[in-house]
Amino acid sequence: MVASCLSTLAITPARAQQAKQLPLFQSPAYVAPNTKEQHFEGNLTLSPGQELLPLTLVVNNGAAGKIPFNWFRINIAGYLMASEQNLQGGKKQAAIDVSGRMQAGTSQIIIDAAGEPGATLSFSLLTTPISLEAVEPSNVMQGQTIVIHGTNFSATESQDMVLINGRPAQVLSASATSITARVPADAQAGNNSVQVSVNGVPTRSSSINVGARSIPVLHSMNYWMAPPGAVLTIRGSNFAPAAANNKVFFKNVSAQVVSANPNRLQVVIPNWSYGPQELNIPVYVVAGGVRSGNYLPFDIGPQYQGAVPPMPGDSSSQASSEASSEAGWPLQAGSEATSQASSEASWPVEAGSQAGLEQSSQAGSEAPGPMIYP
């Protein structure tokens, strides 16, 4: 006799919350037609990740008034999982911890047993249910973070999946009782469902209200060329008010943001390891988790020698000005020193300038200033 194959059971979230244990698999009833030794076969399927869950094998031998087998062996994927030794003392049911002993995918079940005609054996594979109890805050903006409270989450972030309106959200941290996740920057505005799945086992759904966040737009930069270490001012709209909530990237290299308001960012041009000079580098901003809808081209020159030029508009010390002057830094954009120095250095002052003008024009603002380089 060959046991029928049952697929992984799907249960409703409400039932999952009420049950003490969540069924992953339920076998058919294996029944002895005679007193001879019986051999049953079947299959058990676990979704990827479910083998990592806490797993309990519950064996029923002659339960619910049925006749028990005199002896039995339950093998799954070639490993002995249970026998009559687990039901000594006349017990008809036993719960066996098989955590870490199962594998993902389809495993063969082989059962050998003997008993009186009508002897009945069955088993189920259970796990601890996952619960979602609350989501905070209930009102959140696109790109912001939420904290999901519940039970039996995995402390391994890769085993937890957070779905917002059915779309995966980035999991930032996790413990057995809470998960911190980021709402997608392009999440739908309005009411959104929130659900957690741990190693393929889902929770019930909760909901949050997501507010739309304006996309940052870059208008202009005060320079279109400068070396690493110089301070660049980026003007635009919809930046985050706090510097820590803005990220500025030169291609894929992040820059330090030293000051911010909704319409202006000041950043330190990062060290550049791609070469002595790089032209038309895309500069873009991520404000509050939302990436800018456009970028501005920028040229980075070689590392300069001497003092770092002061922040544009900074007149904090005469020493800084003198040091900059000695280093050959023309702080006044478009000065004769700038033209002369760039000519001597054979800098392609015009390189990338047209692209910069076009990009800024599309953003509806003024063009970047000249290069800042001796």
Residues 174-220 have pLDDT tens digits of 999 999 999 988 888 899 999 999 988 889 999 999 988 788 999 99
Dist. CA 84–CA 103, nearest whole Å: 24
All CATH 2.60.120.260 domain ranges in the chain, comma separated:
13-127
pLDDT at 278: 72
pLDDT at 272: 76
Dist. CA 59–CA 8, nearest whole Å: 17
Question: Cβ distance 338 to 330 under 8 Å?
Answer: yes
pLDDT at 35: 95
Instruction: Mark the ranges of the chain whose per-residue pLDDT is less than 70.
Output: 1-19, 274-277, 302-374
Task: Return the CATH number of 13-127, one of 3.20.20.10, 3.50.50.60, 2.60.120.260, 1.10.150.120.
Answer: 2.60.120.260
Q: Which CB contacts under 8 angstroms, 24+ apart, belong to 77-84?
A: 77/102, 77/103, 77/107, 77/108, 78/108, 81/57, 82/57, 82/123
List Cα–Cα distances, 150 to 133, 205, 354, in angstroms: 5, 12, 55
Q: Does domain 131-211 have CATH number 2.60.40.10?
A: yes
Judge if pTM exceeds 0.85. no
Architecture per CATH, domain 217-363, reads as Sandwich (2.60)
Within the chain, residue ranges assigned H as helices are: 13-18, 318-326, 336-344, 353-363
For residue 138, the Cα-to-chain-centroid distance in whole angstroms is 20
